[in-house]
Amino acid sequence: MEWNRCISGFRELRPLVHLLLPLSVHWVAEQMTVSVLVDITTSALCPGQTTCSQAIYISGLQQTVVGIFKMVVLPLLGQLADEYGRKPFLLLTVSTSIFPFALLAYSQTKEFVYAYYVLRTISFILSQGSIFCISVAYAADIVKENKRAAVFSWMTGLFSASHVIGNVLARFLPWRYIFTVSIILLIFGPFYMQFFLVETVERAQRKEQKSNLLTKIVKVSRKRYESMRDAATVVFSSPTLRGITFVSFFYELGMSGISAVLLYYLKSVFGFSKNQYSEILLMVGIGEIFSQIVVLPLVNPLVGEKVILCLSLLASIAYAFLYGLAWASWVPYMSASFGAIYVLVKPATYAIISKASSSMNQGKAQGFVAGVQSIASLLSPLAMSPLTSWFLSSNPPFNCKGFSIIVASLCIIVALCYACLLQPEQHEPRSSEEDMEAPLLSDN
């Protein structure tokens, strides 16, 4: 019977095929560059060295800048997707990665690496988090509420499967071909969506009214402020959405800090390069596919999203501690195996938010929580970059090269405490009066 539920979740994906196919190709293209970027940036900025503080600080600065702008951009994109449709914003967000990778495909000198960081920062501001956020809202438009947890699980499973394929390509392709192949795949995504993806949101009819430019700017700014305030009201008026917002904040504060410095840490401590990164990421990806596509749809009906969320956070804590205390080159591989469990944090979070939100507020709620996550991602490098550089330097205060990662794990412990206090709720149907929600840019 549980297996039938799993198959049922797969069947629910059929209406989403024109969304998931180009997204999967996009994720493959991005993931295949991850393992080689550390080597390229380190070689360009710190030639002949295995530890590059400059690269760590630039990556931290990039993450901070992205986080600052995402606080506004992510909720705004969620609201705009609710009003004007999912398709135009999916097209925008999946197109932004083409340009920074094109630079590295052309040249990998120091000047081009700096230019890559600038363009990649802009790309991250628009696309990081927002692609999946809008995709989840698109799926919620089509899939019945009681099937969403399974569908979100399959979506994140496909995300992991794409990462596996990307890591396989990165492992066996010569590094000089990686960016060329990646660009071809990145171009495929928006072209496919343009011709095959069907819009799920009907734009509200608005009366045309002539007004001068200044009046329009003031009106749009006022409506945007009111809409963002409304999104905050939607989230904080619900105990469940408020609680999951705190969980997401502290989880992202810890995990984003670890992700920002992990590959540089492994390169400095164990001399890892593209092949080792690809092997670790490949192992993690295979475990994630199994847990998200098979385990989560079977277990979720039995224990619920809250239990899955708490177990996933426990796995995240173990993951962080093992990396921080790694005493041999095989320990990172063992730590990475916990990725098969902690990856369930995301689909459990999406499902909890979706159940606690009305269909009219899916984009607002998902976007607001994602915006809060961006606040965490901008704060974490402020501590992680200098702390990591300090403990990887030749004069650390004491011998614990992974101390910054251990510190980050404390944030995940706080997230676990909030998760244990969650009381997941089922959103009650909206009244007809509440459903009469005016578009943000409608004329008064």
**Among 71-75, 103-107, 381-385, which is the least confidently predicted range?**
71-75
Residues 6+ apart with CB under 8 A from 47: none
The yes/no answer on whether domain 217-422 falls in CATH 1.20.1250.20 is yes
Tens-digit pLDDT profile for residues 280-295: 888 887 887 777 777 7
Global model pTM greater than 0.85: no
The Cα diameter of the chain in Å comes to 69
16-198 — its CATH code? 1.20.1250.20
Same fold, 16-198 and 217-422: yes
Tens-digit pLDDT profile for residues 190-240: 999 988 888 877 665 444 444 454 564 455 556 656 767 777 887 888 888
Q: Nearest-CA neighbor of 272 among 31, 34, 47, 38?
A: 38
**Among 12-16, 58-62, 258-262, which is the least confidently predicted range?**
12-16
Q: Hey, what are 174's tokens? A: 């010569």
Tens-digit pLDDT profile for residues 142-173: 877 777 767 776 777 788 788 888 888 888 88
Tens-digit pLDDT profile for residues 90-127: 999 999 989 999 998 888 888 999 999 999 999 998 88
Q: Nearest-CA neighbor of 248 among 425, 80, 339, 129?
A: 129
Q: What is the 3-state secondary structure (H, E, C) of 66-101?
A: HHHHHHHHHHHHHHHHHHHCCHHHHHHHHHCCHHHH
Report d(CA 177, CA 423) in Å as an integer.
50
Domain extent listing, the chain = 16-198, 217-422
Sequence-separated contacts (24+) of 118-121 with Cβ below 8 Å: 120/62, 121/62, 121/65, 121/66
3-state secondary structure of 281: helix
Residues 6+ apart with CB under 8 A from 162: 23, 24, 25, 26, 27, 28, 31
Q: Nearest-CA neighbor of 94 among 123, 63, 62?
A: 123
- Of the pLDDT bands very low, low, confident and very high (cuts 50, 70, 90), residue 368 is confident
